[in-house]
Amino acid sequence: MDLAQLYETFKGLENPSIWQEFYVKFYNAWFFEDRWMSYFRGLVTTIEVTVIALMIGVILGVLVAVIRTAHDQQRPGSKNILNILLGIVNLVCKIYVTIIRGTPMMVQLMIMGFVIFASSREATLVGALALGINSGAYVAEIIRGGLMSLDPGQMEAGRSLGLGYLDTMRFIIIPQAFKAILPALGNEFIVLLKDTSLISVIAGKEIVYFARAIITKTYEPMFPYLITAVMYLIMVLIFTWLQTKLERRLRQSDRR
Amino acid sequence: MIDVKHLTKSFGDHLVLNDISEHIYPGEKVVVIGPSGSGKSTFLRCLNLLESPTSGTITFNGMEITNPKSNIDLIRRQMGMVFQHFNLFPNMTIRKNITLAPVRTGLMKQNEADEVAMTLLRRVGLEEKADAYPAQLSGGQKQRIAIVRALAMQPKVMLFDEPTSALDPEMVGEVLDVMKELANEGMTMVVVTHEMGFAREVASRVLFMADGNILEQNSPKEFFANPQHERTKLFLSKVL
Q: Is the pLDDT of residue B98 over 80?
A: yes
Give A122-131 pLDDT, tens digit per residue. Answer: 888 999 999 9
pLDDT > 90: percent of chain B? 88
Quick check: B135 and A163 CB within 8 A?
A: no
Name the pLDDT band for B239 (thresholds 50, 70, 90).
confident
- Is residue A253 less than 8 Å (CB to CB) from chain B? yes
Task: Name the least confident of A28-37, A101-110, B60-69, B186-195.
Answer: A28-37
Give B158-175 pLDDT, tens digit per residue. Answer: 999 999 999 999 999 999
Which of A:168-187 have CB within 8 Å of B? 171-172, 175-176, 179
User: What is the set of domains in chain A, with CATH numbers?
Assistant: 3-9+18-251 (1.10.3720.10)
**Rounded CA gap, B151 and A70, in Å?**
29
Size of chain B, expressed as the number of residues it contains: 240
**What is the average pLDDT value for chain A, to the nearest integer?**
88
Q: Is the pLDDT of residue A46 over 70?
A: yes
Q: What is the mean pLDDT of residues B90-105?
A: 94
Q: Which of B11, B48, B104 is most worth mutating to test chain A (most A CB atoms within 10 A of its CB)?
A: B104
* Chain pair A-B, CB pairs under 8 angstroms: 83
Chain B residues near any Cβ of chain A (below 8 Å): 48, 50, 52, 68, 73-74, 76-81, 83, 85, 87-92, 100-101, 104-105, 133, 135-136, 149-150, 153
Q: Which of B111, B106, B100 is nearest to B134 (CA)?
A: B100
pLDDT value, residue A1: 60
pLDDT value, residue A256: 52
- Work out whether the CA dihedral A197, A203, A204, A207 comes out positive or negative: positive
Quick check: A157 and B79 CB within 8 A?
A: no
Quick check: B85 and A176 CB within 8 A?
A: no
Which of A153, A175, A256 is the closest to B85 by Cβ?
A153
Verdict on whether the full-model pTM lies above 0.95: no
Is residue B78 a contact partner of residue B159, using CB atoms and an 8 Å limit?
no
Q: Is the pLDDT of residue A166 over 90?
A: no
Q: Is the pLDDT of residue A79 over 80?
A: no
Q: Which of A160, A176, A256 is most worth mutating to test chain B (most B CB atoms within 10 A of its CB)?
A: A160
Q: Which element (helix H / strand E) includes B215?
A: strand B213-218
